[in-house]
Amino acid sequence: MITMLAAVAAMTSGSACQGPDPAIVSVVSAQSTASPGVNRFTLTVTVANLGSQNQAGNVLQSVNIVLDDNKNGQKGIPPLRAGQRYTFTYDVLRAEDTEAGSTDLRFHLVQQNGEVDCNSGNDRYKIRV
């Protein structure tokens, strides 16, 4: 298996914002052959609450997954305590002869019902495979 590591989002130095701050902190891609002619990319996505407070227990949030400008999936994220991380995997299949680095994947953390996020600047992540 060939492993390709995406640039990991660096956490900012300085104090956490005063409230919950859910953020996509990393996406790591590992490539393997799914079947003849098809490559599978398993993406490991980590979301963390970088804020100083827990999220409300009834928070509704998810990560939208966009592949080459088309929504390709969505993954629900449970409410996170301050400092807590949540990791999930997502598989993408591509033709074996597709040029490396030609597929854009974007991840966007979405909250519903006006939930608190004291820093929405870290709610997106992009990777190419």
The per-residue pLDDT for range 13-44, each reduced to its tens digit, is 345 678 999 999 999 999 887 788 899 999 99
Residue 11 has pLDDT above 70, yes or no: no
d(Cα 66, Cα 24) in Å, to the nearest integer? 14
Parallel, antiparallel, or unpaired: how do β-strands 61-67 and 2-4 relate?
Answer: unpaired
Tell me the pLDDT tens digit for each residue of 54-71.
Answer: 999 999 999 999 998 999
In this structure, which CATH number among 2.60.40.10, 3.40.50.720, 3.30.565.10, 2.102.10.10 belongs to the domain 2-128? 2.60.40.10
pLDDT-wise least confident of 10-14, 83-87, 113-117: 10-14
Q: Comparing C-alpha atoms, which of 90, 103, 94 is closest to residue 35?
A: 94
Q: Where are the domains of the chain?
A: 2-128
